[in-house]
Structure 1
Amino acid sequence: MSAATWTIVGYLGAVTLLGAWLSRRNRSSADWATGSGGMGIWMIAAGIAGTRIGGAGSYGVAGDVMSTGLWNVWYGITTFLALALVGLFFAVPYRRLGLTTIGELFLRRYGRSRSAVLTSLCVQTEYLVVNVIEPLLIGVILSGVTGMPLWLGIVIGATVIITATASSGLKGTALTNIIHCAVIVGGLGLVGWVGMQDMGGWAAVTARADAALAAAGVDQASWWSLVGLGWFPIIAMFFSATIHTPAASVYVNYAASARRERILVPSFLLAGLIAAAMPFLAAIIGVEALARYGADAGIAGYHSVTRIALDSGAVVGGIALAAVLAALISSGGPILLASATMFVNDWIPGSSDFSPRRKLRAYRLTAIVYGVIAALIAMVFGYFIGTASVLEWLLLGFAMVVPPAIAIGYIFYVRWTTEQAVFWGIASGYGLGLLSWIVNKLVFESDMDAPAYFTTLVPLVVIPVVSLLTRSSEPDPLGPSFHRRLRTPG
């Protein structure tokens, strides 16, 4: 095997073994889901940053830069804004409410489960996309480096993610994410620098990129512009990638994991800075891949990103690809964990009465089953829908989570928000967003980001209007105690 292959195999093996070793620390469901509230600022920041880097922030941005232009660096900006939004306005309330999943918030506020179940559906839509993307891109990397079949690479990727998650829990994934984040930034920064020097510096890279764009018939000025596709997709990216984040259940887990309440805000801000660096590095590599190999889209573009890493030298290429694997695992692990905790707590009847050990077993079994199903979908995606953009799919998943995020904002900061308004705001936003995407694809055959506008603007209007129509003069039995907990330091 080549040096690059040995580096990748060694990294995957080390992560798997570390996850298995960390499993000894998990003796209850609280250990697995929240680290029993004993984590410090660096572990929380690395864990959170890893959730936002993943395949979309690395291969997704690099591949989409090759095909649609430099405007994709906005993903880095929206990533920082997203984590800052949660840290400043939502993380502390989540901790004070003692939540394990985001759906529990609606039960605490209104005593009814329908909004909780609907929110869980919205969030699971995004998480299914993430749980499919990560093993798929690991398969693409392993296939490109070793020549193994794509399906086998997906199986290996899924096995690593499932093993690391099911065994190590939140604290284990956060600890390994410290390693992952260092490898990601250092490895991709190195390959970007080496690749640029090999081509004669940045001026030579841009000249070759211009030639590749001209050969492909692409407008160069538009491709290089940060608003090359107009403001419509940029605003849509902000709506989906930033506004959805408060409803992403994994951040409830991290809010509960903090050793002290006061470290939550700096932890999220630090995580935003770390995670935002990745898309900018990926964009540089995307420009270099375009300069060397021409404009490609979808899976073809992701293979080009793998090639530029390997062409930078066996050792450097191995480090770079290990960095991308780190990005995929760092996102896949916590997201799979949050998917399992949501499924058990929100969808399994009687789970609130489980003993800590029984719930731990349920979490682990659910993570394994969920991961296997996601891997099977990844195989179908890779072989039959391989030209699709990973970043496009992720932004669609993000958009589906915007309605409950807006609802949570109303619940926290507009006291007269009613349960009926929350339910219909989430339902209408999710339903119309999904319908607009289907119509867009099947009728107009367009890649426009219309779903994000529906999932954002519809609940923004529906929730206050329905609240005004359904306000009751009767005393609110749960409202005062709910808001009192929000004001009480944890």
Structure 2
Amino acid sequence: MQNPIALVMIAAYLVGTTLLGMVMMRRSRGGDDWAVADGKMGTLMIAVGIAGTRVGGAATYGVAGDVITGGIWSMWYSVNSFLALALVGVFYAVPYRRLGIQTVGEVFVHRFGSRRCQWLTSLCVQMEYLIVNIIEPYVIGRILTAMTGIPFGITVLASGLIIVTYTSMGGLWGSAATNLIHCVAILVGLGAVALIGLNHLGGWDQVVLSVDATIATTGQAATWWSVAGAGWLPVIGMFFAATMHTPAASVYCNFAAAGRDERTVKRAFLFGGLIAAPMPLLAGVIGIETLAKYGAEAQLASYQTLTRLALDINPWVGGMALAAVLAAVISSGGPILLSSATMFVRDWLPASKDWSQGRRLRAYRTTTIVYGMGAAVIAWLGPITSILDLLLFGFAMVVPPALAVTYSLYWKRTTEAGAFWGMMLGFVGGLTWYAFTHFVLPGQGEGIDPSYPTFFIPLIAIPLISLLTKEDGESKAAFFTKLNAVKADS
């Protein structure tokens, strides 16, 4: 067993936060309690809940690893984390709450009475959420295997079991309550490693000298320290993929519906963005320090050397930092797994709207268990290389429904045919682009992001097709009457 102090700290943290989520089971007595906290959450709980969804393994472990291998441009993820939540808070959270929806696909049921738009939206979003649900146990498993030597298959399945237990029992209340602890742990833990690591390595100037010596041998000297990396296309692509998809991230419908009133919801999303933004930045700094300490060795095993750096500095601080990374994983894995189960039941089982609260709760929990453990098996057996690249692909696939939702909410001339076929063309275009650039073009198509076709194709196709097709005037009038109503609690 390596570093028993750090291992005990991590075990205590995981057990403690999981038990807290389970204690919140008493607040999840029905389907609405479990999925949307029965509309009783305040600003702080929503803010930490949604901040956790933006962090996860990709924004900590993933950003640090990609900074090591590709340069500091990956730290743009920090800016995009704030912009993504601010975008939803200003333009989407209140409309979602007024419509009373729990999945983003339900926008199209209210707007057009369209099940096919709802199903296609769910397919796009579930593609991203499957990737997230795979990444989270993968990250926990890799860290635990590096620390204990236990085979990865065992640690990744155990990690999936932790997330499933925590989510299925605690529901949205459990996710928010534990995310309060997670957010504090992430900021304090990563901040401590970054500051103590800087001192451990002799200060910033020495860190820069060490990094320069390493990248000089890799051919990256001209691009590694550049905020644009090898060019602005990947940076812009990250913005499109990591930010523009967010309105269609169905988990934010859960949190929007959970707010006590409209003012609470809007403030919570802005506050959540401010909480989430520093986390990828701190992870990126740790990635720089990791490269400075281990040199070329860090380039060969970026994710494992992030673990080594924290533990080599000090076992107590290392334990706190690793617990923070695991906290980041659980903080996003729980709510997103919850939203995945909500979408499956509400979008793909239309009869569930007539079920009792108890029956719907059982369906949510059963789906959570099957979905979560299935994702853990894929994490164990699947070939995963760059976590951030995989997540950005998932983000890109959600951009078409995000644009369709935007047009449906803010352009009254949008038709059902325009929304559906615009989404379909964008989704297929993104899949085709990704497959072509990764499996046909030399160099795996680096710098050519699938978010470009998933953004520009529906951006043009939805209004064009809408202008060529007819709409239902009565359903449109009823939709906008409800959408534009000023609530007494706002």
The TM-score range, normalised by the shorter chain, is: over 0.9
Give the match for residue 207 of structure 1: 209
Give the match for residue 462 of structure 2: 463
1:219 deviates by 2.5
Secondary structure, aligned partner of 2:446: coil
1:186 deviates by 0.3
- Counterpart code for 2:287: G
Distance 1:16 1:327 in 2: 13
1:371 deviates by 0.3
Give the match for residue 221 of structure 1: 222
Give the match for residue 411 of structure 2: 414
Residues 155 and 375 in structure 1, CA contact (< 8 A), matched pair in contact too = yes
- Counterpart code for 1:187: G
Residues 79 and 272 in structure 1, CA contact (< 8 A), matched pair in contact too = yes
Where structure 2 has 5 or more consecutive residues not aligned to the other structure, the ranges are none
State which drifts further: 8-17 or 322-331.
8-17
Give the match for residue 7 of structure 1: 9
Residues 41 and 267 in structure 1, CA contact (< 8 A), matched pair in contact too = yes
TM-score by length of 2: 0.97
Distance 2:376 2:436 in 1: 27
What is the aligned-residue identity percentage?
52
Residues 58 and 279 in structure 1, CA contact (< 8 A), matched pair in contact too = yes
Give the match for residue 359 of structure 1: 360
Distance 2:122 2:185 in 1: 33
Structure-to-structure mapping, 1:339-350, within 5 angstroms: 339-350=340-351
Distance 1:330 1:242 in 2: 19
Deviations 1:48-78 (A, max 9, x none): 0000000011011000000000001111111
Secondary structure, aligned partner of 2:301: helix
Distance 2:346 2:358 in 1: 14
Change (3 A) 1:152 1:299: farther
Deviations 1:68-109 (A, max 9, x none): 000011111111111110000000000000001111110011
Distance 2:149 2:213 in 1: 30
Secondary structure, aligned partner of 1:417: coil
Distance 1:75 1:344 in 2: 32
Distance 1:185 1:240 in 2: 25
Deviations 1:291-317 (A, max 9, x none): 112256899211010000101111100
- Counterpart code for 1:486: L
- Paired residue for 1:102, among 92, 101, 104? 104
Give the match for residue 436 of structure 1: 433
1:349 deviates by 4.3
State which drifts further: 295-304 or 63-72.
295-304
Quick check: 1:331 aligned with 2:332? yes
- Counterpart code for 1:162: V
Give the match for residue 183 of structure 2: 181
- Counterpart code for 1:250: V
State which drifts further: 9-18 or 362-371.
9-18
Secondary structure, aligned partner of 2:260: coil
State which drifts further: 427-436 or 289-298.
289-298
Taking only aligned residues, the RMSD between alpha carbons, in angstroms, comes to: 1.3
Residues 68 and 299 in structure 2, CA contact (< 8 A), matched pair in contact too = no
Structure-to-structure mapping, 1:395-414, within 5 angstroms: 395-414=392-411
Distance 2:409 2:303 in 1: 41
Secondary structure, aligned partner of 2:440: helix
Residues 430 and 455 in structure 1, CA contact (< 8 A), matched pair in contact too = yes
Where structure 1 has 5 or more consecutive residues not aligned to the other structure, the ranges are none
Change (3 A) 1:364 1:299: farther
State which drifts further: 297-306 or 83-92.
297-306
Give the match for residue 485 of structure 1: 482
Deviations 1:128-175 (A, max 9, x none): 000000000000110111111111111121111111100000011001
Distance 2:378 2:299 in 1: 17
Quick check: 1:287 aligned with 2:252? no
TM-score by length of 1: 0.97
Residues 67 and 296 in structure 1, CA contact (< 8 A), matched pair in contact too = no
- Counterpart code for 1:145: M
- Counterpart code for 1:478: S
Give the match for residue 248 of structure 1: 249
Distance 1:335 1:200 in 2: 40
Distance 1:218 1:194 in 2: 30
Distance 1:314 1:393 in 2: 31
Deviations 1:260-286 (A, max 9, x none): 111112111111111111111011000
Give the match for residue 452 of structure 1: 451
Structure-to-structure mapping, 1:40-59, within 5 angstroms: 40-59=42-61
